[in-house]
């Protein structure tokens, strides 16, 4: 008994076409999500603009993120800190009134993290800031952003490239970051 491959293909063609179309749909769907819904600049509870603060007004990063130089976490400024200026500055703006309402009720502002490393990565701000690594290396040009978005690809490649370039001691050891 002989089996014709041509005949088999002809029978399978409709199924193959369905699979091909579905696969194309998968790629398109993935691409659409990744391009148009990246989630890298989530909507924040207050429309805080880094462009106004760090760009126009030239406030140094560590004026607000005071912990960065001495703690593993850079620290988000306390509501109290914001009110230090905004008790006087731009008090009529609706967004500042929103801020003031958080302060009056002693509620923390639920900021959404833009830059977030997985739990299996040990990263400390202290070491990097003290080594004079620019904040923008990982965080992108924050001083130009009205809404902060994740622009630099904070993936393992970025860490390793930099560690290699600067010849960091034990910079490519697994345990340096994964501990």
Partner 1 sequence: MSNVDRRQFLKLVGAGGVGAGAGFMLAESIKHPVEYLIPYPIPPEEFSPGIATWYNSVCGMCPAGCGISVRTREGRAKKIEGNPLHPVNQGRLCALGQAGLQTLYNPDRLTGPMLQSGERGSEEFIQTTWEESLATVAHRLAAARDGGKNIYLLSEGVRGHLAMLLERFMDGLGSEHLMHYDFAHPHALYAANQRLFGEHTLPYYDIRNTRYLLSFGADYLSNWLSPVHHSLGFGHSRQGTDLDRGRFVQIEAKMSLSGAAADEWIPARPGSEGILALGLAHQILAGGAYTGSDFDDWNAALAGYSAESVAERTGVAAKTIVRLASEFMKAEPGLAIGGGAVDNHSNAVDTLVAVNLLNYLVGNIGKPGGIVFNSDPVVGGPANNRQANFIAMQQLAEQARHGAIDVLIVNNTNPVFTLPHASGFREALASIPMIVSLSSFMDETTTMADVVLPSHSYLESWGDDMPQPGLGFPVAAISQPVVSPLYNTRATGDIILDLAGKLGMKDSMPWDSMEACLKDGWRQIYERSSPDASDFDTFWRDVLVSGVWGEDIHRQDTVVVDKSVIDNIDVAEPEFSGDSEQYPFFLHPYMSTAMYDGRGANLPWMQELPDPMTSIVYGSWVEMNPATAQQLGLRDGDLVSISSEYGSLEAPVVIFPAIMPEVIAMPIGQGHSAFGRYARDRGTNPLQILAPLTATTSGSLATHATRVSLAATGRRAAPVQTGGDTRQLGRNIVQFTGDDSSAGGHSANLNSIPIVVKTT
For residue 28, state whether it binds partner 1 (rule: CB under 8 A).
yes
Burial bucket for residue 147 (CB in 10 Å: 0-12, 13-18, 19+): middle
**CA 168 remoteness from chain centre:** 24
The structure tokens listed for 131 are: 């080594």
Among 9, 12, 16, 17, binds partner 1 (CB under 8 A): 17
Size of the site for partner 1 (CB under 8 A): 46
- Give the C-alpha distances (Å, rounded to integers) separating 91 from 94, 105, 110: 8, 17, 21
Options 46-54, 100-108, 128-136, 171-179: segment touching partner 1 (CB under 8 A) = 100-108
Options 23-31, 55-63, 91-99, 131-139: segment touching partner 1 (CB under 8 A) = 23-31
According to CB under 8 A, which residues from 31 to 90 bind partner 1? 31-34, 37, 39, 42, 67, 70-73, 75-81
Options 27-35, 53-61, 138-146, 170-178: segment touching partner 1 (CB under 8 A) = 27-35
Burial bucket for residue 74 (CB in 10 Å: 0-12, 13-18, 19+): buried
């Amino acid at each position: 008994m002989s089996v014709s491959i041509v005949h088999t293909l002809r029978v399978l063609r409709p199924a193959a076409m369905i699979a091909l179309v579905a696969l194309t749909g998968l790629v398109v769907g993935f691409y659409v999500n990744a391009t148009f819904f990246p989630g890298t600049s989530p909507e924040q509870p207050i429309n805080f603009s880094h462009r106004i603060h760090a760009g126009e007004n030239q406030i140094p990063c560590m004026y607000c993120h005071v912990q960065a130089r001495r703690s593993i976490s850079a620290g988000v400024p306390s509501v109290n800190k914001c009110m230090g200026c905004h008790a006087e500055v731009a008090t009529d703006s609706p967004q500042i009134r929103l801020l003031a309402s958080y302060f009056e009720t002693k509620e923390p502002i639920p900021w959404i993290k833009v830059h977030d490393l997985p739990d299996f990565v040990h990263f400390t701000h202290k070491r990097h800031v003290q080594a004079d690594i620019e904040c923008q290396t990982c965080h992108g040009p924050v001083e130009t952003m009205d809404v902060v978005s994740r622009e630099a690809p904070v993936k393992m490649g970025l860490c390793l490239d930099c560690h290699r370039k600067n010849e960091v001691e034990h910079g490519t050891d697994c345990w340096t970051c994964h501990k």
